[in-house]
Each structure stands twice: as structure tokens, then as C-alpha cells.
Amino acid sequence: MKGKRTFRISLLLFAAVAFLALLQIRCRHDGLNVAQLDKVCFQRDVLPIFQNSCGTTNCHGSKGRGGYSFTDYTSIKKAISAGNPYKSKAYLAMTGKGFTQMMPPSGALSQKERILVRVWIEQGAENTTCVSN
């Protein structure tokens, strides 16, 4: 009798874990196909987001709180894994994944800003300069 009960509990736990795993996969909103999008320009589109929201004097300015400075391409690149936003510390911080507090602490970036940074990372996180439209 005890063996059947243990088996049932194990089966229920497995079913619950499998359900949660499927739910996580289904709920991801990663449907962006960056190959079909225009190239995101670092200097025009991404750098101002970092400088205005993260690279302030009190946060990740030239002294770089937490070891990160977000004032220029070279320093920003240290927190980015080109091609993979989910391995990029800067992107994870601004989306609140894996951190105790979403950055910047003064208020979350807009959805548009987070998408621009994500697409830029997925496109290779290059130091591109573009003509403003």
C-alpha cells in the first residue's frame, strides 16, 4: 500500500513539474525574428538609453557601480553577450530576470526601450552609427 501511495505522489509531482515547464515555454514572448527587422543603431538608438537611464553619475557612470559603467560602447559591451540577451547582464537587469530589483531602480525602462536593446543584442551588439531619420 505504501509503495502505491509513494508512486502516486511521485507521479503527481512529475505531472505538476511538467505542466509548469510547458507553461513557461508557452508563455515566453520571444517571437521576434530579428532577421526581418531593420538594424538597430547603437549610437542613435541604444547608447542614449544606457546613458540616460543607467550611466548617470550616481549609478553606472564613469566610476561604474557594481563594476559596470554604461557611458560608452566599450564599457557597455562588458555587460553584453552579443547575440544572446538572456546571457547579457545588462539586459537581465533591465528586465528584472535573475536580479532582486529591476534596473534602473528609479523606474523600469519602457517596453520600446527594452525591445530596442534586446534586438540590438540579438543582432550582434555592434557599435553602429546611423543617420537619424
For 19-62, what is each residue's pLDDT tens digit? 555 445 444 455 567 677 788 899 999 999 888 876 565 666 55
Q: Count CB-CB contacts under 10 A for residue 44.
A: 14
Q: How confident is the model at residue 83 (pLDDT cuts 50, 70, 90)?
A: very high
CB neighbours of 25 closer than 8 A, spacing ≥ 6?
Answer: none
Residues 6-15: tens digit of each pLDDT = 656 555 555 5
Look at residues 90, 70, 71 and name the one whose alpha carbon lies nearest to residue 80: 90
Kindly tell me if the per-residue pLDDT of 66 is higher than 70: no
pLDDT of residue 45: 92
The pLDDT, as a whole number, for residue 23 is 46
On whether the CB atoms of residues 79 and 121 are closer than 8 A, the answer is no
